[in-house]
Each structure stands twice: as C-alpha cells, then as structure tokens.
C-alpha cells in the first residue's frame, strides 16, 4: 500500500516531537547527568502550580504529597542544596509536623517528618517527629492493630511502614518494629501470592476475578509501591532484627517476578501479567521498581550481576520519558487497577518522587558511595534555656519568664543573629536585629 505520509511533514513532526523531551548527556549514568536529571524532575513540580501543589507546602499531607516529598528528601541528601531542605521544612511546618489522620494515606508524610529530624541531627528539633510518635503510641503500641484491616490495600505498604521503621530507628523502640512486622505479615497473609510472588491490590482482585487472558490481576503501580516501601523498611531495620531475613526473602522473590515481565523498553505495563489487554507502558511503577533494585544492589541484598542490567534498562526507559520541562511522562492517572488511562503527557507526584529515590541510589552505585549511612543519632544537648519555632520574624520577640536574651537560627541550624542583652528586671521582650523573611521558619533559643 502506498505510504500516506508526506516525508517532509513526517520529518518536521519527528523534530518537533523530539523537542519536547529532556536533552540529557550521552551517558545518563554519569554522576553529573544523574544529578541534573533529578534536579530537572524536582523543579517541574516545585515551580508549577498543578495538582494542588500549594497544599503540599501548606498543610496538605495526602499520599501523593507524602510520596513526592520522600523524593525531595533523597534529592537533598544527594545535593545538600538547602533550597530542597527549605521545601521539606516548609512542608512539615505547614502540616504542624503531624499526619492529618490515622489513615495510611496521611501517614505517608511521616517519613518526611522523620527525615527532617535526621537531617537536623539536633535533639532540640524533636518536635519534627514527636506528633507522629504520639500517634504511633496510640494506634500501634497501645493497641493490637490488624495489618489486613489498617493496610488492606497494597499501596499502604509504602505509606505507613517506612515511617514506623524510621521512628523506631530514631527512638530505639524495638516495639515499633515488632508492631510494623506483625502488621506487614498479617497483610501479606491476605494479599501476597506466594506462588507468583506478587501482591494483589486488595482482596477484591483475588480469584475468581481474573485478567482477560485468564491470569491473576496484579496491578503494576500497586506492586511497585510495595517494593518501594519494603526497601525503605529494610533500610531502617537493624541487621540482627529477627524478622529481617524473611522480609529480605520476600523482597528478592518479588523483584525476580517483576524483572521477568519487564518490557523491551525498560518499562512495565499496568497489568503485570497481561500486557495484551493493557499494552501501554507506565513510568511511575518503573521508577519504584528501579529504586528498589538499585537500593537492593547497593545494600548487597540483590545479586548485582542479575539485577544491574534490568535496573539500568529501567533508568534509561525513564530518562527517555522525561519532557524538556522535567515532567515525567506516561504515569497512570490515579486509580486502583490496571488501566491505559495515563494520557500521553500525564505526570504524577508519586512517580516523580520515586524517580528521585531511584536517582539517589543510582548515583551511589556509579560513584561507589554505597553503604553510607544517611544520619547519625545526635547527642542529647542539655540546656537551661527554652525554644520556640516561629514563622517569620518581627523587630521584637516575647521572652519567657526569666529570659534575658535570645539567639535566632534558620530551620537548617545556621545562627543568623543574637539579641542584645537587656538589663534590669521584668523585661518581657527582646529586640532582634534581623528582619527575617516572610513565611520562613526560624528557631528561637532563649537563655537566662
């Protein structure tokens, strides 16, 4: 049949279409390229008012914001660029450092609250994780929660468990890990298929419900969240903890099953076992799978020779689907099951967050910086003074009883000014020589 396309028009179309994608280095695996790609993807959402971005930094603590911010934390660890730390602190402050509810959808943000404290490594900033600690005590330690009830959908395994593991690491409370692992295996007893080694999205997708080809329905993005959560739980589980080996075994088994259905371009379809009914390739699940493999390789949980090729293939597939403005293309729209409803240029905050996590681990891999601990527990500081967290500064600061002066620090711990010492008794305020920036967060240390 005669070719209906005009060759000149076709060339123009190809050139124009190619121009929408992110130009990257010839080697997307160089340290410099990885960092540039991470920055570009992060900047897309930080600079665009889409998907209620304002809510992310003003009290929004839903699952999508929480997942995105885990990626921003990864980017800050990679770059030590304080613009990202400022976004993290602003996010926590806007949420009052507390999940909005006990629903795992809201508990996802607790990971960022815990990591904020880890970045600070300053016991005066315990307020960053203490509201989460109070909720965990009430909901997990003072009760006997059911994993299959609280975490009845597989996505929840990325939302709640990593925040529990981080809190256990910060506080040294093994009881928190005990509750986490108990709930995880209770949930796995309902959702995990130990023959296929994949998780159903929820009990409603178990047989007799099947895909068009007669195989079980395993949702790619859902399984990806499970593996992402598992990697982050294992990161904060001590090597000698009694439940860790079983978790590692399941982690390995799932990734072996996932790699077996990777598509030729490095991506995955939304129905892992039925690429005929749902043929479109999807990026948010690919980003989580890439992260899980890279983390597992770096921590010597996965065999490097087996998993490095599919991990690199996944990263290359992701890079090919980043637009010139940093948008991660072809993420499935919000849903609960396999679908080709991702539109040609749809992006998602969770997909972007996962890509940043993958980039951090890939950077460690190519630079040899594996096995590096991200934080050290701070030494308890004793002080007779008092502290106050404020948003913005004015010319004078109210003093607690007995205080004679105050010091002002940025949210990152940089001392920016000290008040003049006041003489006499009964002073109720102190003059501050720094005007501050509107909406920025400052820590005020008072002394006597």
pLDDT digit string, tens, across residues 271-288: 999 999 999 999 999 999
More confident residue, 343 or 130: 130
Q: Are 372 and 365 in contact, with CB atoms under 8 Å apart?
A: no
pLDDT of residue 389: 62
26: burial class by Cβ within 10 Å (0-12, 13-18, 19+)? exposed
pLDDT of residue 192: 98
Compute the average pLDDT of residues 403-415: 67
Phi-psi label, residue 266: left if phi above 0, alpha if psi -120 to 50, beta otherwise: left
Checking if the pLDDT of 425 tops 50, the result is no
pLDDT of residue 2: 34
Checking if the pLDDT of 315 tops 80, the result is yes
Checking if the pLDDT of 23 tops 60, the result is no
For the ranges 154-168, 318-332, 357-371, 412-426, which has the lowest average pLDDT? 412-426
pLDDT band for position 373 (cuts 50, 70, 90): low
pLDDT of residue 418: 57
Average pLDDT value for the chain: 84
Taking the model in full, what pTM does it have?
0.81
Q: Please give the Cα distance from 438 to 260 (Å, whole number).
A: 52
pLDDT band for position 62 (cuts 50, 70, 90): confident
At a CB cut-off of 8 Å and minimum separation 6, what does 230 contact? Answer: 157, 247, 250, 251, 254, 292
pLDDT of residue 333: 85
Checking if the pLDDT of 58 tops 90, the result is no
For the ranges 52-56, 296-300, 412-416, which has the lowest average pLDDT? 52-56
pLDDT of residue 10: 35
pLDDT of residue 244: 96
pLDDT of residue 17: 39
Domain at 24-367: CATH architecture: Alpha/alpha barrel (1.50)
Compute the average pLDDT of residues 168-186: 96
Which sequence spans correspond to the domains of the chain? 24-367, 386-447
End-to-end CA distance of the chain: 90
% residues pLDDT > 90 (the chain): 63
Checking if the pLDDT of 153 tops 60, the result is yes
Q: Are 60 and 375 in contact, with CB atoms under 8 Å apart?
A: no
More confident residue, 344 or 188: 188
In the chain, count H helices and then E strands: 17, 10
pLDDT of residue 371: 61
pLDDT of residue 422: 46
Compute the average pLDDT of residues 146-157: 95
Give which of 152, 155, 257, 148 is closest to 198, Cα–Cα: 257
């Amino acid at each position: 049949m005669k070719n209906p396309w005009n060759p000149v028009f076709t060339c123009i179309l190809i050139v124009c279409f190619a121009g929408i994608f992110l130009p990257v280095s010839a080697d997307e695996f160089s340290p410099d390229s990885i960092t540039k790609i991470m920055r570009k993807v992060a900047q897309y959402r930080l600079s665009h008012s889409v998907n209620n971005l304002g809510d992310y930094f003003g009290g929004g603590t839903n699952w999508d914001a929480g997942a995105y911010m885990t990626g921003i934390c990864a980017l800050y660890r990679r770059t030590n660029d304080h613009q990202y730390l400022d976004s993290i602190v602003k996010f926590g402050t806007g949420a009052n450092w507390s999940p909005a509810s006990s629903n795992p959808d809201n508990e996802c943000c607790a990971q960022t609250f815990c990591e904020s404290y880890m970045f600070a490594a300053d016991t005066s900033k315990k307020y960053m994780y203490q509201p989460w600690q109070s909720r965990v005590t009430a909901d997990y330690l003072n009760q006997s929660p059911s994993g299959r009830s609280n975490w009845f959908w597989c996505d929840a395994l990325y939302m709640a468990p990593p925040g529990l593991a981080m809190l256990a690491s910060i506080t040294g409370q093994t009881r928190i890990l005990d509750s986490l692992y108990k709930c995880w295996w209770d949930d796995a007893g309902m959702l995990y298929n130990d023959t296929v080694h994949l998780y159903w999205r929820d009990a409603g997708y178990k047989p007799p419900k099947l895909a068009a080809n007669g195989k079980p329905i395993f949702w790619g993005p859902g399984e990806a969240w499970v593996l992402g959560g598992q990697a982050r739980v294992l990161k904060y589980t001590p090597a000698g903890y009694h439940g860790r080996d079983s978790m590692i075994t399941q982690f390995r088994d799932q990734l072996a099953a996932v790699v077996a259905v990777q598509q030729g371009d490095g991506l995955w379809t939304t129905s892992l076992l039925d690429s005929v009914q749902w043929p479109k390739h999807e990026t948010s699940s690919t980003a989580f799978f890439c992260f899980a493999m890279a983390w597992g390789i770096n921590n010597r949980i996965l065999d490097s020779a087996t998993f490095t090729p599919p991990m690199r293939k996944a990263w290359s597939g992701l890079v090919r689907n980043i637009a010139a403005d940093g948008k991660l293309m072809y993420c499935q729209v919000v849903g609960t099951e396999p679908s080709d409803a991702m539109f040609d240029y749809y992006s998602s905050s969770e997909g972007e967050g996962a890509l940043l996590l993958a980039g951090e681990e890939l950077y460690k891999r190519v630079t040899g910086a594996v096995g590096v601990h991200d934080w050290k527990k701070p030494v308890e500081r004793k002080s007779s003074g008092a502290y106050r967290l404020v948003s913005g500064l004015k010319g004078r600061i109210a003093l607690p009883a007995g205080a004679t002066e105050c010091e002002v620090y940025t949210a990152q711990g940089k001392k920016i000014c000290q008040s003049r010492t006041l003489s006499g008794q009964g002073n109720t305020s102190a003059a501050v020589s720094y005007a501050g920036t509107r909406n920025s967060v400052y820590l005020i240390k008072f002394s006597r």
